[in-house]
Structure 1
Amino acid sequence: MSSVKDKDAKLKKDHHFTDDHGLPCIEKLVRSTDEVPEPIGTTVRGHIPSWVSGCFLRNGPGKFEFGNKSFNHWFDGMALMHQFKIEGGQVTYRSRFLRSRSYQSNSENDRIVVSEFGTMSVPDPCKNFFQRFLSRFESLQASDNANVSFTKYKGDFYVSTETNFMHRVNPETLETQEKVDWSKFIAVNGATAHPHNDPDGTTYNMGNSYTKKGATYNIICVPPEKTSPEETLEGAKVICTIPALDKAKPSYYHSFAMSENYVVFIEQPIKMDLKKIILGRLTGKDISKAVFWDPKQDTMFHVINKQTGKLSEVTYYTEPLSTFHQINAFEEDGFLVMDMCVADDGKAINNYNIQNLRQSGEALDEVYNTLCPVFPRRFVLPLNIDADTPLDQNLNTRSNSTATAIRTAKKKVICVHEDLHGDDLKDYGGLEFPQIYYSKYNTRQYRYFYGCGFNHLVGDSLIKMDLKDKTMKVWKHPGLYPSEPVFVPSPDGEEEDDGVIMSVVITPTAIKGTFLLVLDARTFEELARAEVPIDIPYGFHGMFNATA
């Protein structure tokens, strides 16, 4: 398999290009807002099932400037936590900014003093040149602006990003309780914002380590229970360490895959130049300038046994791809089936700067048409590879599967994906932000997943995919931009899609145009919307915390 392949023709064929009128402006989706710490009422139109009871929690950037300085990248905005509390068919809303060091320092100084992914901190104009230079060393500490997701460890709620800092928060009040540093418990320099959970509550995550010997990737395991109320990450351990292919330029990753017995790390060609990151901090260049796409490198799947921590001697390869979110993974008949949202290049991360998102018309079209669409794909990894396994033939014997896995050397298997969609998904720009009925079907064979269609730089439709026949249901209305769909199961449901889908929908063309959308997960028909009397920005990830 060739590592270098011209995909321009394929991208043009697959991409859903915009019409002559240009994409509508979504500037309001990335504007700063005020927090609402006390709950306010919403106007519910329709009917929310009485069994839906709990808090829908969301996280994302909510403040993009301090003083006369603005952040450059969407990922840099200060973390704003949102709560939609649902009880008896009624909904209240509240929000709070995370009281991180980044937020507090920037607020106290009324300027950006903590560097983020796409923004370098602004030197104090009152300091002399030498003092400004020294302040660059002080800014080497990673940001604690945990604006990506809500997660749980040992029953506690955290907001997290991709640095070594998380914050424990109160899900009822959204108050910031405690900052937790991964590096105080294990030798890692960060962890993903998308851990996976076993049924017993054991949590797995991944984090990098940077030492004199170079970069490594680490599989982390956190025990399910606390021995005291004050505990955070005590008992966390690294169960496997994987050396980076290029120890000075490790791969960027946002998540990983997990089946019942295995963790799969996807080493993709989105690279981080560690030397450039360090020198950039000293010379005033942000981290994003050191992140790049290297299409000359194949993508590698590293399979780790969760019980033994042993890394498989077999490495699985596929063409250069980028993936931010996995859908699900499960084992069946000696195969590890892995589903993920995939693009054929990894340049998108650097296109989501604030300037791009605040454009309109042809200028916005130009940005959108540089993005590679993301589609759901399946890879099938044969697990039982030994000396007798034949070479140069497809090892995937699963019925009705077009994915291939060919052993080309003793410890090398080349994989080619199977599409999990029909051609109709291309009309919706692909699919991202995938979600499943996680508590019951994670690591197990499943039928349905949900996501956002992306005929814009943010989600502009909600999609339900049926893996049985690769058909889809869609909720879409012009001018409405739904965020990540979260599945909430019915307590008496028997089928996989018995429940509701929740998504926060933003309307940038209307004042106070935000609402919580509730769909019937089976029919994908709208049940209700709870209209919020204020505007809120577009967010990233969330979760539903059901009332006990």
Structure 2
Amino acid sequence: MKSHSEDITESPLGLKNTPENATPIELEVKGTIPSWLCGVMYRAGFQGAGTFNIPLQDGSTFHIKHPFDGLAMLHRFEINGVQNSVSYCSRHTSNGVKRRIMEKDPTLLTFGPDPCKTIFGRMQSVFHHISRMKKNADDMEEDPEFDMVNVTITPNFPIGKTLEEKTGVLPGEAVVVKRDANTLQLVDSKTLEPLKMFTYGHVDKSIKGQLCASHHQYDEETDEFVNFMVTLGPFPSFQSFTIGPYLPKMSIGTQEVMAVLHEPVWRHLGAWKTMEPLKPSYIHSFSMTKRYIIIPNFPYYYSFGGLSALYYSNAYQTFHWEENRHTLFHVIDRNSGRHIATYEAEPCFAFHTANAWDEDIPTFDGKTETVIYFDMSVYENTDIVDASFEFGKGVDFFDAEKVKPAPFVIKKKAFGKANNKIAPSQVRRYRLSNVPVVNESNRVNTGLFGISTDFNSRKVASYEVLGYDLELPRFNQKYALKPYRYLWGVCQSKHAPSYASGAVVNGIIKLDLNNPKAQSSTALYWDEPGCSCAEPIFVPSDHGKAEDDGVVISVVNASLPEGDSCFLLILNAATLEELARTTMGQWHTMTIHGSFVDQAGRGIAVN
């Protein structure tokens, strides 16, 4: 144990605290930012990564043990290409969680396990979760930092009139942080101050459930935000929903931009269940086309229908991998909300989807066949989840001579597997053929309680591999729901140990999906020694015509002989040549996801 001090910054596991910069500061820019690049980039972390080491009242220190459980932190970069300037601020947004840790709140749910908790302690955990459910719900209403919300950050979120009146946030100006559960956090768009913690039910009471995807989908043509909710239990139900209009309608005058705002309308697409004992699985993102929603069901399941999370008080021990069960892709018709088909594929796992679209393809008999294509960064199994224990610890942490024995020994589920081998991701393009088309003359039958009677009539999904080792995929949002060519993401750094060793240290990669067999010669990389990159956000040039005409922006942690540093990196998206960088501080922060809004405040690259 270390002495009681706010200066504690690093744990025996190599996880470091990151200081906040609540007051905006001007950063020194090295290089030249394109003059057209003007707007704000928001960054959040899948694990927040603001605070890992918390001094307690008894003089000891509480060390957070898994990177995904670092207390949430948001970052805001105001980029002005005309002035070649960057203004930066950041804020810790989970002070309520910090207080609960200091008070030893037994109802805190984490991702990583607590190896010290006994069986008796786990049984007590169930009692505490149930008995304090009402109190925690009341506390969440009053404390905007009561729970951890730290995955994706969404500008222009339509929170509805009730929350707008309660918080004073104008329509179209809400910045909301989301996660894989039905808990969201509204923050100030300029200061990042947490304003309100809420659920989808606060916006519309008909939206119910415990789980949802951190990554929503958006259709610019119909101006709709789309997501789904999962209600856990022996027979889980899925409830798709849409919000529209999503973004303020802009009419541009000669001197100013006027926003014609509309009250968001929530449209419930209907709940659906399945006849067979379908197990609820971990779903971080999903796919959507003009006509369909595709929800993956990987064989990485919540045990006991998710109730085991109350017993273990963490997600990692709740999940289990069943290598002998198929991956399922459930297809929902966007117009009717009906579950129309389920496709099965070999077992796999994915955190993130890329783009998707549907086509009507002529057949040999003069008819047409409806086909869905969707791309994902796919793993053969869930060993990458085990590797997440080492995420963001820096290249130097994996120097065996520097690593000291940690007091927290967590048995990972990959232990015992041959060589603890973790294969890199594959960029797979799945093809769903003969997709049913719902119309008045051809309705999908539903039985009692809306259960699809066609569910057991399974179809088979096929796929081709378009590339390797690309995670956190981003593409030109102008091509959403359409055929496209380029993907940007992170890849294993050639200057660090491989994922198989447990290290997760990333470079940046660009793939040409039109030339998958020539990846070795067509893929482009940005990868410097000692550096680990976060998700590269693609921002299109306002005058560009080519799909890759724009920039990609990342936040990079550097572990160099002269010390740690963290910097904003701006690359030419077409060539991955560096255009500019600016150092934020002599520390590390593990942001993953982010969004970019233009000068009018409209999201043009949102995840």
Q: Aligning the two structures, in what range does the TM-score lie when normalised by the shorter sequence?
A: 0.7 to 0.9
**Counterpart amino acid of 1:519?**
L
Q: Which residue of structure 2 aligns with residue 281 of structure 1?
A: 310
**296-305 or 510-519, larger mean C-alpha shift:** 510-519
Residues 384 and 355 of structure 1: CA distance in aligned 2, closer, same or farther (over 3 Å): closer
Encode CA deviations 1:480-520: one digit per residue, 9 max, x unaligned. 11110001111111111111110011113353511111111
Counterpart Cα distance in 1 of 2:51 and 2:577:
34
- Whether 1:63 aligns to 2:51 is yes
Q: Which residue of structure 2 aligns with residue 349 of structure 1?
A: 385
Q: Which residue of structure 2 aligns with residue 22 of structure 1?
A: none
Residue from 339, 344, 347 that aligns with 1:317: 344
Counterpart Cα distance in 2 of 1:37 and 1:466:
40
SS in 2 for 1:336: strand
* Aligned ranges 1:284-363 → 2 under 5 Å: 285-312=313-340, 314-332=341-359, 333=361, 334-353=370-389, 357=393, 360-361=398-399
Encode CA deviations 1:224-270: one digit per residue, 9 max, x unaligned. 2599x9x9997434414343687584111110001111110111111
**288-297 or 526-535, larger mean C-alpha shift:** 526-535
Q: CA contact under 8 A between 2:106 and 2:128: conserved in structure 1?
A: no
Q: CA contact under 8 A between 2:558 and 2:588: conserved in structure 1?
A: no
- Whether 1:210 aligns to 2:210 is no
SS in 2 for 1:265: strand
Q: Which residue of structure 2 aligns with residue 160 of structure 1?
A: 178
SS in 2 for 1:353: helix
Q: Which residue of structure 1 aligns with residue 432 of structure 2?
A: 381
Q: CA deviation at 1:339?
A: 0.8
Encode CA deviations 1:345-382: one digit per residue, 9 max, x unaligned. 12332442369958524699x98953232110111112
- Whether 1:265 aligns to 2:295 is yes
Counterpart Cα distance in 2 of 1:418 and 1:26:
43
Encode CA deviations 1:27-60: one digit per residue, 9 max, x unaligned. 9984111211011222211100111111111111
Q: CA contact under 8 A between 2:41 and 2:596: conserved in structure 1?
A: yes
Residue from 508, 525, 532 that aligns with 2:577: 525
SS in 1 for 2:212: coil
Residues 139 and 436 of structure 1: CA distance in aligned 2, closer, same or farther (over 3 Å): farther
Once superposed, what is the RMSD of the aligned Cα atoms? 3.6
Q: TM-score, normalised by structure 2?
A: 0.72
SS in 2 for 1:445: coil
Structure 1 alignment gaps of length 5 or more: 1-24, 387-408
Counterpart Cα distance in 1 of 2:527 and 2:481:
30
Residue from 15, 38, 46 that aligns with 2:31: 46
Residue from 197, 201, 217 that aligns with 2:223: 201
* Aligned ranges 1:92-241 → 2 under 5 Å: 92-99=87-94, 101-106=96-101, 109=103, 114-119=108-113, 135-138=128-131, 144-152=147-155, 153-154=157-158, 155=172, 156-184=174-202, 185=205, 186-199=207-220, 200-211=222-233, 214-225=235-246, 235-241=265-271
Residues 538 and 95 of structure 1: CA distance in aligned 2, closer, same or farther (over 3 Å): same
Counterpart Cα distance in 1 of 2:215 and 2:123:
41
**501-510 or 77-86, larger mean C-alpha shift:** 501-510
Counterpart Cα distance in 2 of 1:40 and 1:226:
30
* Aligned ranges 1:375-524 → 2 under 5 Å: 375-384=426-435, 411-421=457-467, 425=468, 430-438=469-477, 440-454=478-492, 455-456=498-499, 457-470=503-516, 471-509=522-560, 510-524=562-576
Q: TM-score, normalised by structure 1?
A: 0.79
Counterpart Cα distance in 1 of 2:109 and 2:434:
43
Q: CA contact under 8 A between 1:115 and 1:139: conserved in structure 2?
A: no
Residues 244 and 252 of structure 1: CA distance in aligned 2, closer, same or farther (over 3 Å): farther
Q: CA contact under 8 A between 2:508 and 2:525: conserved in structure 1?
A: yes
Q: Count how many residue pairs are aligned between Structure 1 and Structure 2.
A: 482
SS in 1 for 2:535: coil
Residues 51 and 296 of structure 1: CA distance in aligned 2, closer, same or farther (over 3 Å): same
Encode CA deviations 1:311-336: one digit per residue, 9 max, x unaligned. 11x32111001011111001223321
Q: Which residue of structure 2 aligns with residue 85 of structure 1?
A: 78
Structure 2 alignment gaps of length 5 or more: 1-9, 56-60, 138-145, 159-171, 249-258, 362-369, 404-413, 438-454, 493-497, 517-521, 601-607
Q: CA contact under 8 A between 1:57 and 1:82: conserved in structure 2?
A: yes
Counterpart Cα distance in 1 of 2:527 and 2:420:
21
Counterpart Cα distance in 2 of 1:77 and 1:116:
10
**Counterpart amino acid of 2:112?**
G
**Counterpart amino acid of 1:547?**
Q
Q: CA deviation at 1:130?
A: 12
Counterpart Cα distance in 1 of 2:99 and 2:585:
27
Encode CA deviations 1:268-316: one digit per residue, 9 max, x unaligned. 11111136x535634x55332110111111111111111111211x321
Residues 223 and 274 of structure 1: CA distance in aligned 2, closer, same or farther (over 3 Å): farther
Q: Which has the higher contact order (CA 8 A, sep 6+)?
A: 1
Q: CA contact under 8 A between 1:188 and 1:209: conserved in structure 2?
A: yes
**Counterpart amino acid of 1:323?**
A
Encode CA deviations 1:42-89: one digit per residue, 9 max, x unaligned. 221110011111111111121113232222222111110011111121
SS in 2 for 1:236: strand
Q: Which runs of 4+ in 1 moved over 6 A?
A: 25-29, 110-113, 128-133, 231-234
Q: CA deviation at 1:522?
A: 1.3
Counterpart Cα distance in 2 of 1:39 and 1:472:
37
Counterpart Cα distance in 2 of 1:270 and 1:133:
23
